[in-house]
Homo-oligomer: A and B are copies of this chain.
Amino acid sequence: MAEQSTGGESLLFLTDENLRKGIEAMFFAYRGFTADPDRILEDMDYGRAHHRAVHFINRSPGTTVGNLLTILGVTKQSLNRVLRTLFEDGLVEARIGKQDKRERHLYLTDKGHSLERALSDAQRARMRAAYRAAGPSAVQGFRTVLEAMMDAEQRRQYQGLKEGST
């Protein structure tokens, strides 16, 4: 998986030109990646920050505010502003921890699940189209490179959530 053969193999894929193409591919692809959810969100006065919160709450129901802070990598003040609107609008609810009553465990309400659905359906549709067009082995490569691009800390979180409990 790692090095095919640092011996006499072509390392042409490591030219600056190829790397630059990869950089621009990331830039343009990320725009596409967020475009569909962004359209849905702006119709309801939400932003990407709300999307991220909803995504990770859906993905790890009962997660605490502290967990979310770590995953999202923002300050609590910033996250709190977003969470507050989600509470007010009845998309997310917080339950006080049983063991540790300081903690707030976050859950999506039905309404929250609806939004999450709409957002991830849109995003998955694009992802599915890309995956299908590229084929399974390309997808494998895609994931391999992305994982290698993460910071160690981010990779840990990514993999920690990878096969959570399913």
Q: Enumerate chain A interface residues (CB-CB to B < 8 A).
A: 1-4, 9-10, 13-14, 16-33, 35, 52, 59, 73, 120, 123-124, 126-151, 154-155, 157-158, 161-162, 166
Contacts and interface: CB of A to CB of B under 8 A. Distances in A.
Contacts of A19: 124, 127-128, 131
B166 A17 contact: yes
Contact of A26 (B33, B73, B151): B33
A145 B166 CA distance: 26
A19 B134 CA distance: 13
A150 B3 contact: no
26 contacts: A4-B136, A9-B136, A16-B124, A18-B131, A18-B139, A19-B131, A20-B124, A21-B143, A22-B139, A23-B124, A23-B127, A25-B158, A26-B29, A28-B146, A28-B158, A30-B30, A32-B149, A130-B145, A131-B145, A133-B144, A134-B141, A137-B137, A138-B145, A140-B141, A141-B141, A142-B145
A33 to B, nearest CB: 5
